[in-house]
Structure 1
């Protein structure tokens, strides 16, 4: 009788340990596990602020303030940018010190979390379309889809896709991003500020654009609807 009870007890303990092991494995393998979500919404630990403080709880960013959307970008792209910020190959007064406080595992977790979120379309992200803005969007559409023949500048769509949704992990989704953010990035490329060393092509592209061209391209991509909000569900 005692042996049977001991066997039953050991069986229950073994089953419990197996269940715990499977739960831990699932949490580590799941991009929506508390690792990435906790860093995004609460912060990794004291002294490391949450991503949501700037990028919002849904990853929508603050488009009117030029803070980009992260939701729906690919995990490899987000991770690469965090690595660039950490190592100084891309500079930003806010992002560089933040990235330096995260280890690679934490970066991977938060990148996968944001990549899993649907793309929100927050209200008031960009100004109403008046006549001047409509002209900018039309001009930007031509530049994005056709490039500049006189300077042999390729179309933006060649890399970012016709709808600005990016091409796999090669180029990011910029449809529906902040016009201010897109314009800032193009100006930084043009000024040869420290950026992703693999993005030399973007600098060559930006050098062909005048300030009015940059404003037009930014307005055009900001006006696009972005990826379907049906992707995933907000965690």
Structure 2
């Protein structure tokens, strides 16, 4: 049986290996074209990409464009299961996805704020140091010390809606969402609900 420390090392190594081996999509998106194509997206993600009325809907402003385009591909193929997003992505071409991703990547992310200082402090400890006893690596190993992610695969998480982050971690833990490299389900299954709330709260105020 692998020790928790060994598990942490393997998971962190997987993050960097996957990032290095990821093949970026050919060509770049057109920001102006993306703006013209993104009108319907504003209903949930806000006109400036900083989120809508439902806290489980993500902020898209400033997100890594390759990640956004890849997730749209996953919604379209059904690899990432979401009925609303599958419908939205169904009619998009590869170039449409790159254009929309480029538009949102160029928008300014508004700084968020944690609602609970105590929860955020607990989340900070996990994000920066992991939980060695249960084999949880530091989140910043893949998402960066400032939460800006590692292009092209690992998304930006700073100032992200706490409700969205919490839902995604719960979905990873329950097997409702999968990741390309299987790292996130392995991590999430070791997190308690209290851990998840703490990480989500910390990220909401990270900027």
| TM-score category of the 2 structures, normalised to the smaller one | 0.7 to 0.9
The alpha carbon displacement at 1:159 in A equals 0.7
The residue that corresponds to 1:32 in the other structure is 31
Aligned residues: 181
Runs of 4+ in 1 over 6 A off after TM superposition: none
- 8 Å CA contact 1:60–1:70 kept in 2: the answer is yes
Residue of structure 2 aligned with 1:201, choices 183, 187, 197: 183
Rate the CA distance shift 1:207–1:30 in 2: closer, same or farther, 3 A: closer
Unaligned stretches of 5+ residues in structure 1? 1-27, 42-49, 226-235
- Alpha-carbon deviations, 1:130-184, whole Å to 9, x = none? xxx1111111111111111111211101111111111222311100000000000
User: For the residues of structure 1 that align with 2:164 and 2:29, how far apart are their CA atoms?
Assistant: 31
Q: TM-score, normalised by structure 2?
A: 0.81
Rate the CA distance shift 1:170–1:106 in 2: closer, same or farther, 3 A: closer
Residue of structure 1 aligned with 2:88, choices 90, 98, 104: 98
Residue of structure 1 aligned with 2:128, choices 122, 142, 145: 145
Give the secondary structure class of the aligned counterpart of 1:72: coil
Backbone CA RMSD of aligned residues: 1.9
Structure 2 residue 38 is the aligned partner of structure 1 residue 55: no
Larger Rg, first or second structure (1 or 2): 1
The residue that corresponds to 1:210 in the other structure is 192
Rate the CA distance shift 1:126–1:118 in 2: closer, same or farther, 3 A: closer
The residue that corresponds to 1:68 in the other structure is 58
Give the secondary structure class of the aligned counterpart of 2:182: helix
Unaligned stretches of 5+ residues in structure 2? 1-26
- 8 Å CA contact 1:63–1:126 kept in 2: the answer is no
User: For the residues of structure 1 that align with 2:125 and 2:42, how far apart are their CA atoms?
Assistant: 35
